[in-house]
Structures are given as C-alpha cells and as structure tokens.
A and B are shown apart, each in its own frame.
Chain A
Amino acid sequence: MEGSGSELEHFDSTSSTSEYNNESNVFFINANVTATEKWTIFLEGVYSLSKGNFSSFTELTPTGLPDDANISPDNPSSTADYDFSSINEYSDLDYAQLEGTLGVNYKLDKKATVYGSVNLMDLQDNQAYVYGDLSGAIITYAAGMTVGF
C-alpha cells in the first residue's frame, strides 16, 4: 500500500470500451399422437443454444507515456507487455442444451393406463469457464400405471 515519490511513476490509465454480446435461440416441440384406440405416443423437447462473449479490448495500449519511459511501448528496450488482445476470450460462454421426453401410454380400460418413457437431459459446454467443462448428460427410464377415479 505504499510507494515513494522518488520511485513511483504513475502514468494515469489507459482504457477501452468493449461490447458484450449475448445471444440465445430456444426451440420447443410438444407432440401427441393417438396411434390406435389403446396406444398414445407423446414427445416433449426443448433445445437451446446460448452464447456470450466480449469483443476485443484492442485500444488498451497507452499513448501518453514519454518515449524514454521504461514501460513505454515506444522504448526499444522496454519489456512491458501491452497485449490484451485475448483477455476478452477468458469469459466466453457457449452452451447447447437438450431436454426431451419420449413416451408411450397403453390403455388397459376406461380408467387405467400403463406408461413407459425415456427422458434425456444433455448439456454441451463448448467454452469451459472457471467451473471447468460442464458437459454432461442424464438419461432416465420410467414406467408405471395411472388410474383415474
């Protein structure tokens, strides 16, 4: 938290404005097919694509430094690194997600039905962030019986 007047050289700031772009597409389908008097097929699905990213901070090279300053980009002996061209990519997000259920009902009589279904939840993480690669899938098989009364 300290610096001395004789050693500290504080050359103000350099700044750049970046755009953040967030885009998503969501599709859904719900279908019900009465195949026969006893058989019904149902399908539910949601598919989403979402992306987020910053544009490049390309103007972050300082311009007001004296040419002979140790950290001036115009000083040939300077080792200062002003390459900020990729930091905007650190927080890129790119997800594709599918959730869907395909099932079938069979009527035993007017009040009773047996059913079977398979449910898929799948996430593709195409730009891993600080939480690591979140890609994963869960598949669930279900069967049972329903009674109306």
Chain B
Amino acid sequence: MRTRNLLMCSVVLLICWTGIGFADESDAFVEGTASVGAHYSHFTDNPQRIGEYVNLDATKDLQADMMLDLFGGTENTLYNINLDYRDIATKKFEFGVNTKSFLSADFKYGSFVHNLDYDTLNNMQGKAGGKQVYNTDNDPMGRYFMEYEQFHGDVKVDLPFLTDGQVALGMSDQRRSGYKQTMTLDHCAFCHVESNAQRVDQQTRIWKADVKGTAGPVSLNYDFAKTDFVDRANSPDHQWKSARHPVNGAPNDFPSRMSFSDVTLPYAQVADNDKLSHNAGIKVDLKSAGTLKGSYTNTNRRNYRTGIESGFNAGAFGYAVKLSPKMRLTGKFLAYETKVDDAFVDLNNFRAGDLISGNLNFDWNRISSANRKVYQGDLNLGWKVGKGKHLKASWRYQVIDRPAMAQSQTTYLFDENNVGTNELVASEAFENKTTVNRIKLRFDSRIGMKGNYNLTYTYTDVDMPFMNPTAMCEESLIDTDSSHGVDGRMYYFQRQRFGNGTNQATRAEKLTGRASYQISPRTSINGFVTVARDNNDEMNIYEYNRDLLTPGLNLWTAPSDNLLFTLGWTYNKVTSNANMCVPIFDG
C-alpha cells in the first residue's frame, strides 16, 4: 500500500515538474505547488497526549506523503484543487469550481485521528468488600481514540432575475468511530468501579438549502437545515449486583430502596436525535432614513430514545442610521425562547415493604434548566472624533427568565400539616430572572503614520446571575425532633442544604489595550494586555472572585535580506475561588 501511495505521489509531482499542461487553450492558466516526500516518526514514553492528533499507527514506520495546491482557470471558469496526504488516516482534499455564468460548487473531505485520555483508576485502589472504592480495569491495555471523517459539498446556482439572487444546496457527512473508555459504579455496598472499552460509531448528516435575493430596496433570505445524528454501536451491558445495606450488608428489603438491583442493564447510551431549523431574514434599505433588518428562527430537536423534544424560537430586528457624517447609531433587539419537554421521573416506592415509616413516593416532574425566555437590546454609537480617531460606545440590556434555574436542589420534607404521616412535600423549582446591564467603550487611534492602538473598557452589572441554589452546606439535624418524620426517624433525603454556588459574577470589569508600531522598515512590534475582575458578593456563604491578567508581546524583524525572525510571548494568569462544604456526621 505504501509503495503504491509513493508511486501516485511521484506521478503528481512528475506531471507538474515536466510542465504537462492541464489546459492548452491560449487563455487558460494553471499555477500551484506540489511536493512529495516521506517521513518517519518514533516516540518515547507515553505519546497519547503530546500526539493527541497524531495517527500513532503510522509511527515507527516509513510513510509517504504528498501535497498539491493548484489554482487554474479558463475564460469562464476558475477552479482549485488542494490535496494533503500525510498517512492513510490523516488526509485532506478540496475541490472548488466557479463559473462566471451561474454555477459554483465546492467539495471538501478530511480525516484525522484524535487520541483520547485513559483514566488509570489508580486513585481508587481500596480492597473489595472493605467499604472502600476499588476498581477493575477490564481493558488494561486499552488505547482509546476516534477516527474522524468529514465530507462537505455544496452547489450554488445564481438567480439572474434578482440582485445577488442565489440558491445554495449543501450536504455534510461526519463520522466518528473508535473506542472510548466508559465506567460503571456498582451499589455503594460494593464501591466497585469497572472500566471498559466502548465502541463508537457515530454519524451526523446535515442537509441545507438556502435562497436569497434582492428586489429594489428589499433583500430576503431563507435558510433550511435538517440534521440527523445516529450511533450505530451497541450500548454495552453491565450486571448490577443485588443491593445490600452498605453498613451491615443485610439484603432484606434493601433492593426496594434502589432504582435497580440484581439486573443487567445497558449503560453509557447515546441517544439518536434529529434537528430541523428554519431561518428567514429581511433587510430594507430606507436610503437616507437608514437600514432596517429583521429575522426569525425556529428549531426543533427530537431525542429518539427518551421521546423528549425541544424547541427554539427567536426573532430579531435592527435599525442603523447615520446621525451625521461622523456619527452612526445602530439599535438591535433580540428575543428567544428555549423550551424542553418536562420529564416525569417515575421511581419505585422507597422501602416499599415498610408500611410504617417507608413506602415513600419520590416521583417528580423534571423541568429543564435549559428552559428560558431571553430579551436583549443593544444600542451602539460610533463617532469619528478626529483624524484617525474613533470612539465607540455600546449598551446592552438583557433579561433571562428561567422557570427552573436548577432543580438539583429538590429535597423532600414530611408534610408539617400532616405530622405523623409519611406524606412528602417536594421542594419547588427555583424560578429566576437574571438582568444584565453592560456598557462598553472603545477608543481607536493612530500613532502617527507608523502605529495604532486601541483601548476597550467593559463594565457589566448582573442581578441574580445563574447559580446552583441550595447546592451545598447542610443544616444540623441534631436537634430535629420526630415531627419531621414517622417513628422519629431521620432520612438522608431530608438533609437541608442552604448554600448557593456559582462562578458567575454580579459585577465584572475588563480592560483591554492593544498597540502596534513600526520601529523601522525592518522591525515592527505589537503588544496587548487584558486585565479583568469578576466578583459576586451576593451569595450567602462565600464571595466569588476571578482575576485575569493576560499580557503578550510580538516582534517581527528582518535584520538583513537573509534573516527573518518572528518572536512572541504570551502570559496568562487566572485566579478564582470556590467553596467546599463537608457535612459532619457521627452515626
């Protein structure tokens, strides 16, 4: 195979070098670059991370490679061909043709290998049966990787009866195949983690159809897309042991306290799904009165395994006008809604056989935290304040309204209105409305005729940013009396967490400066620095901070006609904080 590849590469090079023409018409032309060669790679120690995108199967072996960049044309047609072959799994091909009349087409194909990490599980080395987490690696020599292949093609046909009128049809086909590491965790009485290799065979296909055109002052466009995702690999199965009490090992009635016990089930399942989207836009040129734009987008996604559907609807319009020869104002408004079907979580009754203090029903209705309505307005003012000097000011106002910011805080308390019974009251979804005000100022200026710089300052104020409410830190139950449960018992599901956690700021500032300067005809320098601080002092158990510093410097110099250097340095420092809460138990 390798010999044949090398021969094919050589033929391409020979054709180019000996000047065998691709076109013999007098007005035809062709130009480009071609190379053929070979490479040999070898590795030491662990190549998986440093060679994350290297086809390791092609190392320690001589590989032929080739590259061709070709651009040509005739009186009415331009075309390009680009080939890059590195090994059998790492290659790229592009072909494009564009006629002056009404038709153009592009085709692209590429493939590469992505090596994946392998968790050695060495941090879980307890002994079986000792209430310690221990592991079994069922694939100890496993190597995990994905082979990617992607094809994209599109054809564009001009509509001569419209200005800039065009219909475009396109198709993409992406494949991911290989093996990834997946794990199972048995019941807490066993604390057994098992690692396995899982086959992956996924395909994503996208079909697109777009049409656009302008008639007089009105421009219209409509885009349609259909996406299908399918995973043809079978989900692996795992047998979960019969559930036992994690402390005394008693099996009596314990399976009814779990969702499953002594059963073989599939795990690490990937759901097939599809997506259908429509996007329509309009632009009206109002001459001296400005420009008006509007658009509407509708997307629906279906999950074939769960039956859950999600919808997305968005509308936007904008207006731009010149207030004066040196001042331009634009305004934009955007509104969208994301709605995912609610999911009913149907669980077995907890301690079904215990009719005195058990037989509790934990069924609940999950409302997706992705659900939201968003309203956003932007005003931007551009002002030429002097020769080579521009000032931009913008203001954004955004409201994000979520019916359930996070439902992970769901806990169950015994009904205080029915003390002594086992009626449970679930906590309600935590509604939240986030309001964002953002102001941005940017100043651009030239430094004489040899340089320029710009400064950007952004201030953001957020009321009620996204957070995980009641996610950590627990109230003491030590003084709790029997009114909270039947038979004076206290259950872990009654543990009341109260601490909110987030890495989202209520106040954020960011300052960025960039400058470039030509020191001499043979030397130029550019640099940048970003300083940012995020802060949230409105949580109930800690104050969140995040500080960022990123400077960078680049130098280009050609000390003589024979020497050319580019040197660069970038530094990045981020300091943030998080809170950890440890519940304290005895018993």
Residue of A whose beta carbon sits closest to that of B583: A13
Q: Which of B19, B571, B579, B584 contacts A17 (CB 8 A)?
A: B579
| CB interface residues, B 474-507, toward A, < 8 Å | 474-478, 480, 482, 485, 488-493, 495, 499
Kindly list chain A residues whose C-beta atoms are within 8 Å of the C-beta of B59: 138
Is residue B39 contacting chain A, with contact meaning CB distance below 8 A?
A: yes
B251 sits at the interface (CB 8 A) = no
Contact: B492 with A134, CB < 8 Å?
no
Q: Smallest Cβ distance from A114 to chain B, in angstroms? A: 9
Q: How large is the interface on A (under 10, 10 to 19, 20 to 34, 35 or more residues)?
A: 35 or more
Interface string of B25-43 (1 = CB under 8 A from A): 0000011111111111111
Is B364 located at the chain interface by the 8 A CB criterion? no
State the total of A-B contacts with C-beta under 8 angstroms. Answer: 258
User: Which residues of chain A are near B472, meaning CB under 8 Å?
Assistant: 13, 15
A15-B581, A130-B123 as given contacts; A142 in contact with B568, CB under 8 Å: no
Of A30, A112, A123, which one neighbours B566 at CB under 8 angstroms? A30
Cβ of B71 to closest chain A Cβ, rounded Å: 11
Chain B binding surface SS class: strand
Residue among B30, B35, B65 with most chain A CB within 10 A? B35
In the assembly, what is the distance between CA of A9 and CA of B488, in Å?
13
- Tell me which of B35, B563, B580 contacts A147 (CB under 8 A): B35
Chain A residue nearest to B117 in the complex (CB) = A131
CA distance A39 to B406 in the complex (A): 64
Given A17-B577, A136-B44, decide whether A12 and B38 contact each other with a Cβ distance below 8 A. Answer: no
Of A10, A25, A131, the most chain B CB neighbours within 10 A belong to A10
How far in angstroms is the closest Cβ of chain A from B424?
A: 14
Please measure, in the bound complex, the distance between the C-alpha atom of A10 and the C-alpha atom of B583, giving whole angstroms. Answer: 8
CB-based contact A8/B587 at 8 Å: yes
- Which of A1, A134, A144, A149 sits near B31, CB closer than 8 Å? A149
A111 closest partner in B (C-beta): B17
B572 within 8 A of partner (CB): yes
> How many Å from the CB of A54 to the closest CB on chain B?
8
Question: A22 to B550, alpha carbons, bound, how many Å?
Answer: 12
Q: Is the CB of B17 within 8 A of A112?
A: yes
Pairwise interchain contact A29-B565, C-beta atoms closer than 8 A: yes
Chain B residues with CB under 8 Å of A1's CB are 257, 350, 491-493
B101 partner residues in chain A, CB cutoff 8 A: none
The distance from the CB of B559 to the nearest CB of chain A, in whole angstroms, is 11
**What is the CB-to-nearest-CB distance from A107 to chain B, in angstroms, rounded to a whole number?**
14
Q: Cβ of A12: which chain B residues have Cβ within 8 Å of it?
A: 473-476, 583-584
Are A145 and B541 neighbours in the complex by a CB distance under 8 Å? no
**Is A34 part of the binding interface, using a Cβ–Cβ cutoff of 8 Å?**
yes
Which A125-147 residues sit within 8 Å CB-CB of chain B?
125, 130-147
B519-536 interface bits toward A, Cβ cutoff 8 Å, 1 = contact, 0 = none = 000000000000000000
Q: Say yes or no: B542 contacts A17, CB within 8 Å.
A: yes
Residues of A within 8 A of B582 (CB): 13-15, 60, 84
Contact A10 B257 (CB under 8 A): no
Structural contact, B122 and A10, CB atoms closer than 8 A: no
On chain A, the residues within 8 Å of B369 by CB distance are: none
User: Is A145 a contact of B37 with CB atoms below 8 Å?
Assistant: yes
Q: Give chain A nearest CB distance to B496 CB in angstroms.
A: 10
A65 to B571 alpha-carbon distance, docked (Å) = 46
Give Cα A62–Cα B117 distance, bound, in whole angstroms: 38
Q: What is the chain A residue whose CB lies nearest that of B491?
A: A2
Which B residue's beta carbon lies closest to that of A65? B584
What residue in chain A is nearest B484 (Cβ atoms)? A5
Residues of A within 8 A of B580 (CB): 15-18, 57, 60
For B489, the chain A residues whose CB sits under 8 A away are 2-5
Considering only CB atoms, which chain A residue lies closest to B42 in the complex? A139
Q: Which of A53-71 contact B (CB under 8 A)?
A: 57, 60, 62, 64-65, 69-71
- Nearest A residue (CB) for B573: A23
* A29→B47 CA distance, assembly (Å): 24
- Contact mask A23-67 → B, CB, 8 Å, 1/0? 111111111111100000000000000000000010010101100
Question: Is B262 at the interface (CB under 8 A from chain A)?
Answer: no
User: How many B residues face the partner with a CB closer than 8 A?
Assistant: 86
In the assembled complex, the Cα of A24 lies from the Cα of B575 at a distance in Å of 12
Most buried by A among B30, B34, B45, B572: B45
Known: A1-B257, A131-B119, A149-B17. A33 touches B563 (CB 8 A): yes
Closest Cβ of chain B to A112, distance in Å, is 6
Whether A149 touches B37, Cβ cut-off 8 Å, given contacts A8-B490, A14-B581, A136-B45, is no
**Residues of the A chain whose Cβ atoms lie less than 8 Å from the Cβ of B475:** 12
Chain A's nearest CB lies how many Å from the CB of B123? 6
Q: How far is the CA of A9 from the CA of B577 in the complex (A)?
A: 31
Q: A20 — which chain B residues lie within 8 A by C-beta? A: 574-578
The verdict on B561 contacting chain A, using a C-beta distance below 8 Å, is yes
- Chain B residues, CB < 8 A from A24: 570-573
When distances are taken between beta carbons in the complex, the residues of chain A under 8 Å from B576 are 19-20
A85-114 to B contact mask, C-beta < 8 Å, 1/0: 000001000000100000000000001100
Known A3-B492, A144-B36: A138·B19 in contact at CB below 8 Å: no
A136 near B46: Cβ-Cβ < 8 Å: yes
Name which residue of chain B comes closest to A87, CB basis. Answer: B580
Contact assessment for B581 and A26 in the assembled complex, using a CB-CB cutoff below 8 Å: no
Taking a contact as CB atoms under 8 Å apart, the answer to whether B584 and A19 are in contact is no
Tell me whether A121 and B35 are in contact (CB under 8 A). Answer: no
Closest to A122 in B: B50
CA distance A138 to B46 in the complex (A): 9
What are 21 A-B residue pairs whose CB atoms fall within 8 Å in the complex?
A2-B491, A3-B489, A5-B480, A5-B490, A6-B488, A10-B476, A10-B477, A12-B473, A20-B576, A26-B570, A27-B568, A32-B564, A32-B565, A33-B562, A60-B580, A115-B37, A136-B44, A136-B48, A143-B39, A145-B13, A149-B16
Q: Closest 10 CB pairs between A and B?
A: A144-B37, A12-B476, A142-B39, A146-B35, A123-B50, A10-B477, A136-B46, A5-B488, A136-B45, A30-B566
Q: Which residues of A contact B (CB under 8 A)?
A: 1-35, 57, 60, 62, 64-65, 69-71, 84, 90, 97, 111-112, 115, 121-123, 125, 130-149
Apart from A5-B488, A9-B585, A15-B473, what 18 extra A-B contacts exist at CB < 8 Å? A11-B476, A11-B478, A17-B578, A17-B579, A25-B571, A26-B572, A30-B565, A70-B586, A90-B123, A121-B54, A131-B120, A135-B46, A136-B48, A138-B54, A139-B41, A144-B35, A147-B13, A149-B16
